[in-house]
Amino acid sequence: MPVTMDTKDLAFQQPKAGAPKDYRTPILVRLWKEAFGYLLLLPALAIILGLNLYPTVYGIFTSFTDQSLLDPNHFNLVGLANYFKLFADPIFRLSFLHSIELTASAVLLQVLFGLILAHLLIQRVPGIQIFRSLAMVSWVLPIITAVVIFRFFTLPNYGFFNLLLTKVGLSQWTRNWFGDENFAFLLVLIMHLWRNIPFYAIAFMAAMQAIPQDLYEAARIDGATRWHRFIFVTLPNLRYIILVMVVLHVTFTFNNFDFVYLSTGGGPVNATEVLPTYIYKQAWSGYALGYASAGGVVMLVVLVILVMICRRVIGGYETQ
Amino acid sequence: MVCSQIDYYRSGTTIAAAPRFNQAATIRGDFFRPNLKNPTDLTSPQNMTKRLPIIRFLALFSASIFVGTSHAKELDLWFVPMSQDGPAKGPLTKWVSENLPKLLPGVTLDNNYGPPIYQDAQQKLIVQGRRGKPDVIEAVLEGMIAYQKAGLIAPIDSEFDKWADKDQFIPSTIKALTINGKLYGVPYNTNVRVLVYRKDLFQKYGIEAPKTWDDLVKDAALISSKEDGVAGLGLTTKNGSVRTFQEFISFFFQVNGGENPFKYNESSKKWEMNTTPEKLAEVLKLYQDVFFAGTPSGANENTRGNDYQATDTDYVSGKSAMVPMGPWLYSYRLTGDTAKKILEEETGVAPLPLPTGGTQATYLEVKPLLINTASKDKQDAWALIKVLASKDFVALDNQTEGVNPPRKDVAELPEFKNNWWQQAFSSQLSTGVALAAINWGYVINDITEAIQKVIYKNSTPDEAGKALYMTLEKRATDNQL
């Protein structure tokens, strides 16, 4: 039965003849009317300005000074000197490269394995709830605990991995894994994956559960295989959550300090040095606050670009 | 007795009778009660004149109460061994809670003894120290130098000179805490690095503790080859680790005639290099030799990048036969039977082996007690330092932590004099070299990076020594020290 609508129903949208039009109301009067709304916004605005904007702006200002943590009240403006020095330092360039490599590989693999794990966790089999709960353990553990576990497992003489290798006759492979320049970076990556994949999986699983079954039913009727259903039904419906997770974890991984600092300190021979550990060392070994701030500003710019790229790539896919 | 102790620790501070405060409050309450029959009485000139002496008396009395009670303050003390969950925490905090009320009446301590890690304490103090808290800081020498550069600690020469105990302190430990001619701290704990070795294994193979670097490399390789699963020498080589640096600098002092790598030039008012690329390379060559000379080598290649926990644990579990070490290792005997047997029955202590033409020298660690420049109660802070550097407290701390006493009277106590471990380390104190008063942060990173370049075969010792020299020289030129 067709739905009809009387034009009288729209009458409330039309201004009555002779009534003053809204756009004619002076702006101050309208502001005054809406003042209460602005008042309600004020606390949030103050918090954002005070806690986010001020430190960011001050950090950017500091990057143009030679401020030292040992004498923070006396400093000189040095222009772009800190930035020139930063880009001339080969260890900074290496740290930059490592940060990009770590972020790209960690986030990509987390999405991939997160999808696989989500697909497994969504299955309706007895006891799956227990697995879903257990899957989150690594994400719930504090990072320091995770690092201590990994360090303990990889110790040269008593570590579980090395004992296992010795037991199976591969003692020539035993080593101080975090102290080996060929494996240290890989281990840092593995720690990121071990911690975050379950979080991705739970988030993806929640989004998968919200996909209407009708879509799968329709695809099945159209003869779509399991793979096709995943590509053409599941994945498009997960775009938004993937965007959220990628943006969150690009920021988290690029900014992450704890895993590297606690496990390798950036070594061996700078094999795991990333921007946060590099900046930390400048700030706390040399007390060079201005120089360290310049590193922080570079990180900020890179992060903004990375997040914009993520939004563009995944957002573009969404509009298609 | 209590009075004499008060005078002794407090240096003339008088304590007003705080309990009278309530009485004063009662008097004040009566006086200010309004006269309801004639309210104008209070403001009439006649009455005011009559009451003036009483007002003066009460004003003075209140002021004296205020001055008296203002001394009953809570001081903030940052003291890592009392904060960290280690063997010293229980005994030290118990001693303080039992003795402080008797020794410093009117002064209480905040129960939180600050961050449990020196690095954390250092960072927090640099950020927040100017607020005046903590009043008293316990630190490591590298930290003290940073605090002095930041103007966070107050010189204590005049107070120390007046103290009757000043002659009890070993001069080298006082010298280590003197920067630009001013004393900034009182030592309560000291130690040096020596060679700790498995004397049972050395006896087994008919060798003596090595006296030269050549012997060290040779003996380490011999033990590695003969003893299955035992490395001849254990070294700390983690990137940026203070312990890695301390081991390196001990060997370096021997090559550099017992002198620091930097020297202050009075005329140019700048730090300058006080070594050569060749000397730095010589120490790095030692690292190369212990890791790669001989088959198997003296040090286990798989332990490259080890931090101090692994170095300590390897020795006390029998995985290494020699380590450059400080006296704290002895506390590991409480961790298990193997560690107890190794440390009490099978361990010997010897001076660090010497390079050809080298000087007997080693890294001297001194832990000082310091006063915050911004403390609002420096007098009581100094009184607290005297308590914590007193004979009783130092003896308790040094015995519990297994370190050496910086006080002569403590070193003379039977529990120290008859302790072979203490004596073995104490006998080397005279060869200890204190670090120069520079910011060692960058230098520690530079040195540990150079070590890693050599032991991971990214550079030869000569290349790494030359590069390290240039980096350090640039740091000196750029005023980064």
Domain count, chain B: 3
pLDDT of A157 above 60:
yes
- Chain A interface, best mutation among B117, B236, B237, B302, by max A CB count within 10 A: B302
Q: Is residue B84 part of a domain?
A: yes
| Residue A59 Cα, gap to closest chain B Cα (Å) | 16
Same domain, yes or no: B314 and B457: yes
Question: Predicted confidence band at B231 (pLDDT cuts at 50, 70, 90)?
Answer: very high
- Provide the pLDDT for residue B8: 43
What is the extent of the structural domain holding B36? 17-70
Q: Which pairing describes strands B362-371 and B194-198: parallel, antiparallel, or unpaired?
A: unpaired
- Provide the pLDDT for residue A285: 86
Same domain, yes or no: B150 and B109: yes
pLDDT of A104 above 90:
yes
- Provide the pLDDT for residue B21: 36
Specify the 3-state DSSP secondary structure of B190.
strand
Same domain, yes or no: B184 and B308: no
How far is B233 from B217, CA to CA, in rounded Å? 8
| Residue A110 Cα, gap to closest chain B Cα (Å) | 29
DSSP code per residue over B72-95? S-EE-EE-HHHHSSSTTHHHHHHH
Q: Is residue B237 part of a domain?
A: yes
Mean pLDDT, residues B128-143 taken together: 92
Mean pLDDT, residues A79-98 taken together: 95
pLDDT of B335 above 60:
yes
**How far, in whole angstroms, is CA B394 from its chain's centroid?**
13
Better-scored residue on pLDDT, B360 or A133: B360
How far is B172 from B178, CA to CA, in rounded Å? 10
Chain B residues touching A180 at Cβ < 8 A = 304-305
Better-scored residue on pLDDT, A121 or B57: A121
Task: Please name the residue of chain A whose CA is at the shortest distance from the CA of residue B148.
Answer: A70
Q: A79: which DSSP letter?
A: T
pLDDT of B328 above 90:
no
pLDDT of B46 above 60:
no
Q: Which two tokens stand for residue B252?
A: 């370096």
Same domain, yes or no: B263 and B123: no
Same domain, yes or no: B270 and B321: yes
Contact between A269 and B237 using a beta-carbon 8 Å cutoff:
no
Contact between A281 and B240 using a beta-carbon 8 Å cutoff:
yes
Same domain, yes or no: B398 and B444: no
Neighbours of B100 (CB within 10 A): 19
- Closest residue by Cα to residue B19 from B88, B78, B65: B65
- Provide the pLDDT for residue B1: 38
Q: B319: which DSSP letter?
A: S
Stretch among A187-191, A255-259, B45-49 having the lowest mean pLDDT: B45-49
Same domain, yes or no: B161 and B147: yes
Of B304, B314, B441, the CB nearest to A285: B441
Interval B163-219: pLDDT, tens = 999 999 999 899 999 998 999 999 999 999 999 999 999 999 999 999 999 999 999
Interval B248-283: pLDDT, tens = 999 999 999 999 999 999 888 889 999 999 999 999
How far is B84 from B367, CA to CA, in rounded Å? 15
Specify the 3-state DSSP secondary structure of B404.
strand
Specify the 3-state DSSP secondary structure of A245.
helix
| Residue A269 Cα, gap to closest chain B Cα (Å) | 6
How far is A243 from A294, CA to CA, in rounded Å? 29
Chain A residues touching B319 at Cβ < 8 A = 157
Q: Which pairing describes strands B108-109 and B74-75: parallel, antiparallel, or unpaired?
A: parallel
pLDDT of A83 above 50:
yes
Interval B418-431: pLDDT, tens = 989 989 998 898 89
Of B126, B319, B452, the CB nearest to A69: B126
Task: Please name the residue of chain A whose CA is at the shortest distance from the CA of residue B480.
Answer: A286
pLDDT of B30 above 80:
no
Neighbours of A305 (CB within 10 A): 10
Instruction: Output the furthest CA–CA distance in chain B (Å, rounded).
Output: 107
**How far, in whole angstroms, is CA A306 from its chain's centroid?**
10
- Closest residue by Cα to residue B305 from B246, B245, B237, B243: B237
Q: Is residue B164 part of a domain?
A: yes
Same domain, yes or no: B354 and B368: no
pTM of the model: 0.78
Of B317, B441, B456, the CB nearest to A181: B456
- Closest residue by Cα to residue B122 from B80, B164, B65: B80
Specify the 3-state DSSP secondary structure of B217.
helix
Task: Please name the residue of chain A whose CA is at the shortest distance from the CA of residue B149.
Answer: A70
| Residue A266 Cα, gap to closest chain B Cα (Å) | 7
Non-local (6+) Cβ contacts of B446 within 8 A are: B468, B471, B472, B475
Same domain, yes or no: B334 and B463: yes
How far is B447 from A250, CA to CA, in rounded Å? 33
pLDDT of B12 above 60:
no
Question: Could you give the residue ranges of the DSSP H alpha helices within B293-367?
Answer: 308-316, 337-345
Neighbours of B407 (CB within 10 A): 25
Question: Could you give the residue ranges of the DSSP H alpha helices within A168-222?
Answer: 184-209, 213-221
Same domain, yes or no: B330 and B389: no
DSSP code per residue over A246-301? HHHHHHHHHH--HHHHHHTTT-STTTT--HHHHHHHHHHTS-BHHHHHHHHHHHHH
Interval A111-130: pLDDT, tens = 999 999 999 988 888 888 88
**How far, in whole angstroms, is CA B53 from its chain's centroid?**
56
Mean pLDDT, residues A136-140 taken together: 88
Contact between B305 and A270 using a beta-carbon 8 Å cutoff:
no
pLDDT of A317 above 70:
no
Check whether the bond before B296 is cis (ω within 30° of 0).
Answer: yes
How far is B135 from B130, CA to CA, in rounded Å? 11
Neighbours of B142 (CB within 10 A): 21
Question: Predicted confidence band at B25 (pLDDT cuts at 50, 70, 90)?
Answer: very low
Q: A21: which DSSP letter?
A: P
How far is B447 from B244, CA to CA, in rounded Å? 9
For chain A, give the percent of residues with pLDDT over 90.
Answer: 55
The CATH class, in words, for A81-319 is mainly alpha
Stretch among A282-286, B52-56, B325-329, B399-403 having the lowest mean pLDDT: B52-56
How far is B62 from B69, CA to CA, in rounded Å? 10
Torsion angles phi and psi, residue B65, rounded to 5: -65, -40
**How far, in whole angstroms, is CA A296 from its chain's centroid?**
17
Q: B406: which DSSP letter?
A: S
- Provide the pLDDT for residue B174: 94
Chain B residues touching A181 at Cβ < 8 A = 456
- Provide the pLDDT for residue B4: 43
Question: Predicted confidence band at B93 (pLDDT cuts at 50, 70, 90)?
Answer: very high
pLDDT of B32 above 60:
no
Torsion angles phi and psi, residue B283, rounded to 5: -70, -40
Chain B residues touching A280 at Cβ < 8 A = none
Specify the 3-state DSSP secondary structure of B188.
strand
Question: Predicted confidence band at B443 (pLDDT cuts at 50, 70, 90)?
Answer: very high
Interval B272-314: pLDDT, tens = 999 999 999 999 999 999 999 878 899 998 889 888 888 999 9
Same domain, yes or no: B109 and B180: yes
How far is B147 from B145, CA to CA, in rounded Å? 5
Task: Please name the residue of chain A whose CA is at the shortest distance from the CA of residue B444.
Answer: A285
Structural contact between residues A109 and A188, judged by C-beta atoms closer than 8 angstroms: no
List b or e across B172-182, with b for residues whose CB sees 16 or more CB atoms inside 10 angstroms.
bbbebbebeee
pLDDT of A72 above 50:
yes
Same domain, yes or no: B323 and B471: yes
For chain B, give the percent of residues with pLDDT over 90.
Answer: 65
Mean pLDDT, residues A203-228 taken together: 93
Mean pLDDT, residues B54-81 taken together: 67
- Provide the pLDDT for residue A240: 87
Interval A16-61: pLDDT, tens = 555 555 556 777 788 787 888 888 889 999 998 888 899 999 999 9
- Provide the pLDDT for residue A20: 53
- Mean pLDDT for chain B? 86
How far is B281 from B302, CA to CA, in rounded Å? 23
A275 exposure class (CB count in 10 Å sphere: 0-12, 13-18, 19+): buried
Q: Is residue B11 part of a domain?
A: no
Distances (CA, A) of B62 to B50, B68, B198, B274, B385: 20, 10, 69, 61, 31
| Residue B309 Cα, gap to closest chain A Cα (Å) | 11
Q: Is residue B422 part of a domain?
A: yes
Contact between A155 and B310 using a beta-carbon 8 Å cutoff:
yes
- Closest residue by Cα to residue B229 from A276, A144, A158: A158
- Provide the pLDDT for residue A175: 84
How far is B358 from B442, CA to CA, in rounded Å? 27
Question: Predicted confidence band at B69 (pLDDT cuts at 50, 70, 90)?
Answer: very low
pLDDT of A1 above 60:
no
pLDDT of A12 above 50:
no
Interval B399-409: pLDDT, tens = 888 889 999 99
| Residue B302 Cα, gap to closest chain A Cα (Å) | 5
How far is B241 from B5, CA to CA, in rounded Å? 43
Mean pLDDT, residues A82-89 taken together: 95
Domain boundary among B70, B99, B134: B70
Q: Residue B442 is part of a domain; what is its CATH number?
A: 3.40.190.10
pLDDT of B330 above 90:
no
Question: Could you give the residue ranges of the DSSP H alpha helices within A122-142?
Answer: 128-135, 137-140
- Provide the pLDDT for residue A82: 96
- Chain A interface, best mutation among B456, B458, B471, by max A CB count within 10 A: B456
Question: Predicted confidence band at B222 (pLDDT cuts at 50, 70, 90)?
Answer: very high
Specify the 3-state DSSP secondary structure of B33.
coil
How far is B428 from A274, CA to CA, in rounded Å? 41
Q: Which two tokens stand for residue B468?
A: 């390290």
Mean pLDDT, residues A96-104 taken together: 95
Structural contact between residues B264 and B271, judged by C-beta atoms closer than 8 angstroms: yes
How far is B468 from B465, CA to CA, in rounded Å? 5
Task: Please name the residue of chain A whose CA is at the shortest distance from the CA of residue B479.
Answer: A286
